[in-house]
Chains A and B, each alone.
Chain A
């Protein structure tokens, strides 16, 4: 009975989303305010229905209701309660429900926090989001319903959740990522609303800016969590694999990053309008495309969901409607957009344009690399795969180019900024960075690495240049507290994010060039050197977990003669699925991670053991965290909460001072 409530709520949400898609748009086109006014209540109702539906599915997992096929396929009596909760989004149907729930959540958020926006505008935005909801809910109800039952004979036990996903990383990674993916739909909806209404001035940029920033921040954290999860759960010790699914999240991230920056130009100066609209459309379109690639089985990946051509056809149809429709509308309207104002060759605008170009080239190259196997296969060229060498060769130099501009951009002024005095402090910064960068590989030891020297130089260059900007602003405002209370929060957010980029690059450079890595044969009593430590295997045991059996090795890590730490990596075999998983043991530290993973049994009680020292690896995620944090700080700015009336006079003042 209870699952039917969830199913009913899902059907209700579908019905509501149809109304949401139709009524406000109709109201707008016929100028009937009554119809426009239905947008907010409908958005709230849609969110509520989806929450009920999601809650019921989660209850099904917690209560072991194996009469629900999805629960039977992805849960087990032995599965701990916290993994039963995250199992809700552990496979195709449930993760779609999470996607829809989050779409509902963003709809509710727009309905609640859009008091500063004219009613007909928020009605249009919600209507566009309603259209997206119709597509996704139809997809669920017709091809991927999570409430399908196995009746009258429900199985006594379930098939268990994929062991790869039985990990705390999975509890947070998909919701964060989806908050980002789906959050981009808000920016998309704002862009569409302004295209529909034909009001293509700079105000829509201000309205959609905080939404874009917060979606970007979630996307950043979601990708970082995914990378962290891959690092310790997949058991390979890498942090990024250029897997199609990873790329599917990186591409919208790159576009969203470009969008955030071009929105700044559109908001402040009214420029790049047409380009910003295109980025807003592209950002969400590419996150939909990512969904298509993951769910349809078009590309091969370790993450791939069970694929089904029927679903693929449906999503492709949906993509054609959403992306094709929005790009057509764009083409019809954007040619009429005027670009008032000019800017000098060297100005804040030109640096942001440069940023946008580089980020777009990055996004396009990752997209091409990801889709290349599909292209070749489609024209009959057989199966090929594009590996990390291609992506690194393209991505690394582009990052270096992007980063060199990051130091200049924040110092430059709008319109015209070719006074060399402005950039003089950067010369000192550059000298310091280059000197430290050149010396650094020698401090690290080992063979001198030019890649490290360049990477560390760049990382320092951004970090110091960002610090310089902070100091300069403090000097202008006179005092630290005065600065932080009066300055735009977006500037603080930018500092955090740019500094985070420096931190991350430093981590990446160190891990990629200075990881010490050995695969050795070890038995009980054997010792191996690991960096400045000694690792000794002291015990091998068989451990019974709740739903798995594991070979567990105990390693004692000695620093000189004193015991530093005892760790226990495992090789698990999950009972229900028979899948074997590596649980690596990681000792995280500020300057390095010690990484120990069990490979294969070699007989006579010996195991192949993988030992690594990964210098500064946690800085990668710390940097990403700073970037995300910067995004959240940015949206606390007062000006996003202003009412309509105040806005006009404010805009005039800002236009004069900016």
Chain B
């Protein structure tokens, strides 16, 4: 075999190692959101419970959580008790995502409704603007309506203390 060719496997491996080393410092799960530091996109949607027309300007004027959920989402049920507890500390705004009115209302009736308001988004329009990949997702929004954090998947005690709380202290 050629003198130089035999070194080729080692060379390829060296390049791979470089990438792996870099890869160790990156978290594949972390999906950067283009909306971090941006205001919540404008919307005009109805409130699931009252039927009242809601817009960006009506969001709470204090830091709050925007929780994307749906009745078809199992993990949403899992995180629901924790969100209910959290709602005593800070407002939680619901974004009912790609759901039907009856199913969503039944769900809230059965499991309780801790939400300060409930944006009803059956077509997933606002979800799309927010870059939602699936339910549940939760955004931390400050008093001026700017998004600071995106959490994909369940919100629980660990996520709250490790991610939400430090950010909350920063923006307060």
Contact = CB atoms under 8 A, between A and B. Distances in A.
A interface: dominant SS: helix
Interface string B8-21: 01100110110111
A638 interface: no
B53 interface: no
B74 A327 contact: no
Contact of B6 (A331, A378, A600): A331
A193 interface: no
A341 interface: no
Query: Which of B7, B9, B16, B20 has the most chain A CB within a 10 Å cutoff?
Result: B20
Nearest to A244: B28
A143 interface: no
A320 B14 CA distance: 8
A300 B106 contact: no
B29 interface: yes
B25 interface: yes
Contacts of B6: 274, 330-331, 334-335
A313 B24 contact: yes
A486 to B, nearest CB: 38
Given A300-B29, A327-B13, A377-B26, A603 B20 contact: no
Interface string A175-204: 000000000000000000000000000000
A600 B72 contact: yes
B10 to A, nearest CB: 4
A327 B24 contact: no
Query: Which of B2, B13, B22, B25 has the most chain A CB within a 10 Å cutoff?
Result: B13
B24 A298 contact: yes
A324 B102 CA distance: 62
Query: Which of A298, A373, A602 has the most chain B CB within a 10 Å cutoff?
Result: A298
Contacts of A285: 13
A296 B25 CA distance: 10
B78 A578 contact: yes
A324 B28 contact: no
Contact of B23 (A281, A331, A378): A378
A300 B103 CA distance: 33
B25 to A, nearest CB: 7
Nearest to B7: A331
A371 interface: yes
A377 B23 contact: yes
A371 B19 contact: yes
Interface string B102-141: 1100100000000000000000000000000000000000
A383 B13 contact: no
Given A274-B1, A330-B6, A580-B74, A378 B19 contact: yes
A374 B14 CA distance: 15
Interface string B93-106: 00000000011001
B3 interface: yes
Contacts of A335: 1-3, 6
Given A335-B1, A383-B32, A602-B103, A298 B10 contact: no
Nearest to A382: B32
A188 B19 CA distance: 25
B29 A316 contact: no
B13 A323 contact: yes
A309 interface: yes
Interface string B71-88: 110100010000000000
Contacts of A22: none
Given A274-B6, A298-B28, A377-B26, A292 B13 contact: no
B52 interface: no
A56 B78 CA distance: 36
A285 B29 CA distance: 26
A312 interface: yes
A559 interface: no
A313 to B, nearest CB: 6
Contacts of A422: none
A375 B16 CA distance: 9
A374 B72 contact: no
B27 interface: yes
A375 B20 contact: no
A292 B10 CA distance: 18
Contact of A316 (B3, B24, B72, B102): B24
B78 A328 contact: no
Query: Which of A278, A282, A296, A378 has the most chain B CB within a 10 Å cutoff?
Result: A378
A595 to B, nearest CB: 20
A297 interface: yes
B158 to A, nearest CB: 13
A382 B33 CA distance: 11
A296 B24 contact: yes
A299 interface: yes
A200 to B, nearest CB: 12
Contact of B25 (A309, A334, A602): A309
A382 B32 CA distance: 8
A320 B24 contact: no
Contacts of A320: 17
A337 interface: yes
Q: Which 5 A-B pairs have the closest CB atoms?
A: A300-B28, A378-B22, A327-B10, A298-B23, A331-B6
14 contacts: A297-B24, A297-B28, A298-B24, A298-B28, A313-B24, A316-B21, A316-B24, A324-B17, A327-B10, A335-B6, A378-B23, A383-B32, A578-B78, A603-B102
Interface of A: 274, 278, 281-282, 285, 292, 296-300, 309, 312-313, 316, 319-320, 323-324, 327-328, 330-331, 334-335, 337, 339, 371, 373-375, 377-378, 382-383, 578, 580, 600, 602-603, 608
Interface of B: 1-3, 6-7, 9-10, 13-14, 16-17, 19-29, 31-32, 71-72, 74, 78, 102-103, 106
